[in-house]
Structure 1
Amino acid sequence: MGHVISKEGISTDPQKVKAISDLPTPKNAKDIRRILGTVQYLARYIPNLTSTAHPLQNLLKKDVPFTWAESQKTAFQKLKDAIAGSPTLAMYDHRKELTLENDASEYGIGSVLLQEGKPLAYASRTLSPAEQNYAQIEKELLAITFGLRKFHPFTFGRPVQIITDHKPLVSITKKPLCKAPRRLQNMLLKVQEYSFEVTYRPGLEMLISDCLSRAPVRATDNEEEETVSNIAYTPFPAHRLQEIRAATLTDPVLARLKVAIIQGWPDQKEKVPTGILPYFNYRDELTVQDGIIMRADRIVIPQSLR
């Protein structure tokens, strides 16, 4: 697929876009897969491309019969319209400051590369089933590592300003590596070669990356990376870990704590539920590993077992 380079920036080749716009209605899953594969190169131009294509992607799921309903018909037409109106991306300038905006949702992560507020490229991917169980801070850091590595030709060897709407990430990236939970350590080690600074910005001001994380491109198998769990390093025998896991499940305070860890903490301390308030000051060190709450490499023991 071609691109047109002009003084305004980089845009899609009108002739190539017309070829996609003239595609006939797909008749089976193979046609859907071919169409989605053809338009994937436009993901760098259109932030919500995968969101538009979602009804079509559903037809690729196992045990889902191929039914061309109104939702698929509408999505197919919207997809063509989005392609026809794809925007022009700014051209990279090594003299200008480089910004990487990232966000994570329940099931996806997204990044957008910008200079002077103008997008250079977009990227997103779905989270694997294991990653969907990560704490929110882990998902947010995963989005940063994804963005830095996805745009490696631009981000390597120069300062990068990283924008996140997850405030605890700012402090965790400034602490010594040994102070971070093991999974966060693993992620941070993967981006040690990059020079970056993390800055907080409220989510309402990060519409592009937020949209990308909520409409991600489906990840390929080699993009789904597994990390070693802290539980493997604990001195507890298996039956003891099972006791802790079961007690954590029935502990009302730890149940609320797990929700805060996985879904994200309130921005203000005053909004934190009373029962989990004591954990707020070190919230960025807390993770959930296989049903057990960890503070760095230490297990948070339920009240009934203390």
Structure 2
Amino acid sequence: MASGTTKGFQSIKEETVEFRFLTHYDLEKRVNVKCDASPYGIGACLSHVMDDESEQPVAFASRTLSPTEQNYAQIDREGVTNAEANMLSRLPIAVNVIDHDEQLYGIDYCEMLPVTAGDVARETKKDPVLKRVYEHALRGWPKHGVTELQPYQRRADQLTIVEDCLLWGSRVIIPHTLRNKVPNGLHEDHVGASRMKAIARGFVWWPCLDKDMEDTVRACQACQDTRHRPVQTHSHPWIYPDSPWSRLYADFAEVSGKQYLVIVDAFSKRPGVHELGTHGTSTQTIEAFRRTFACHGLPERLVTDNGPQFTSQQFKNL
């Protein structure tokens, strides 16, 4: 840390502990408690009201008084005018907050599915795995993960509980005993695995959800009978040539670490083999063809597999 930053930090620390900024709680003085509720928690600012109506922040309260022990007045203010409490409860921290209405929508949608929110809540309490997930979601997760809980612990920051149902984000976590009902219900119209997964991902979740949807479609005979089949294609064999040396086929073969160029006449099926060494470069390939064409003449057509030696610029200039 730079020396200037250190001095600034020390200066601010000393200023904040001065009497004019902080004081101890005093039962004899009037007290203001400013608080504010927000989705992130509750913040409060406790201060003494001085004789000149100014306020003195309190650093320590020796005891907590219940509302019946003193006279008090409750004043409601808009959040924009309640600056001290907003400072404490609405810090600019990046937190993913799930909209409560979105959660309830996910719960309500369960009424349209083959299972209801009541079914999910009841079976969640019976499910040995989800019962533990429910408790951890309420009271915190252990430091050392458990293998069977890992799919849930990886999503711990987004797990919530609404109407005794576990939710991951806005998706309801379905207990094990109900997981066969959801794919079967979504499959009533035989919409296919992709459509089923798209619908399910919007409202429900459990480990291996996609696989269960796909298994449901595979087990449906009607879907298997009408599924998309590959387009049948007809083979187009080469027409048998009318004369020798009208069409040649060429390819490479490797034997004992050496490359060989194999040339076959389509009419006579007579092969010609040329050793090219260990690499079989374009130059060596061209020389082998020149020797062959010098003996037998040029063919009408040469068929290859578009290997690098056959597509090189050297070969094209042959």
TM class, shorter-chain normalised? 0.3 to 0.5
Higher-Rg member (1/2): 2
TM-score by structure 1 length? 0.33
Bigger relative contact order (CA 8 A; separation at least 6): 1
So what's the TM-score if we normalise by structure 2?
A: 0.32
Counting helix residues as a fraction of each chain, which structure ranks higher? 1
